[in-house]
Amino acid sequence: MQEPGSLLPLLLTVTAISLSGTIAPGPVMAVTVTKGAVRKDAGALIALGHGIVEFPMIALIALGFATVMAVPGVKAAVGLVGGAALIWMGVATLRTKPGAFNDRRDVSKGCLLAGVTATIANPYWFVWWVTVGAALVLSAGAWGLLGIAAFAVTHWLCDLGWLCFLSWGVFTSKRLWTPRVYRGILIGCAAVLAGFGAWFIISGIKLLL
């Protein structure tokens, strides 16, 4: 049996791959920017919501769930439902009133839920996990539960670090923002969410044709 220390090369690989996916623009980043305008620690709460969905997914993949998600019909359904949810989130973001940024308590309640929703509604997240993620989980599985647990924690810490940095950066720079800038940020985030949603719906339809 290999020494636990031999996990290091795998974890370094996991860190590099995870960060490349985490910093890519997407739904989770969009909601982090929106919520980060109110709370500098919004990223931590969103990462927690993201992890609430992600840790069970890792466990399911370890149990063989990836083969189910690879079925074209399932992928199409995820794309259609997830795409519609992202468009809805985009519309909701666009309808946010500037005054909502002053209600810190209300936004706080939504950070955790936003992390969960933005994750579940993102079909690309499912695709990543049944392909790249599944390969990493299987590699980590060579070290048993220790390897899978180490992989899960390492991957999530990458998410946590980036989202915390992002929300902190948005929060600390907001004093330079005018109401028009706020509105522009909202429109940009809404466009990202709706754009990904439309793309996923089109991809889902193509799988059914």
CA 120 to chain centre: 8
Report the alpha-carbon distance of residue 48 to residue 70 in Å, rounded: 26
pTM for the predicted model, two decimal places: 0.78
Measure Cα distances from 105 to 61, 111, 177 in Å.
36, 10, 21
Amino acid at 165: F
Residue 25 near residue 188 (C-beta atoms within 8 A) = no
Query: Helices then strands (H, E): number in the chain?
Result: 10, 0
Tokens of 126: 């499912």
Distances (CA, A) of 100 to 88, 105, 108, 154: 18, 10, 12, 35
Measure the CA–CA gap between 74 and 65, rounded to whole angstroms: 12
Q: What is the pLDDT along the chain (209 residues), one digit of tens a residue?
A: 445 557 888 899 899 888 887 887 788 988 998 888 888 899 999 999 999 999 999 999 888 876 776 678 877 887 788 788 878 878 877 776 655 545 455 555 689 999 999 898 888 888 788 878 888 888 888 898 999 999 999 999 999 999 999 999 999 987 777 777 777 877 887 888 788 888 888 988 988 87
Radius of gyration of the chain (CA): 18
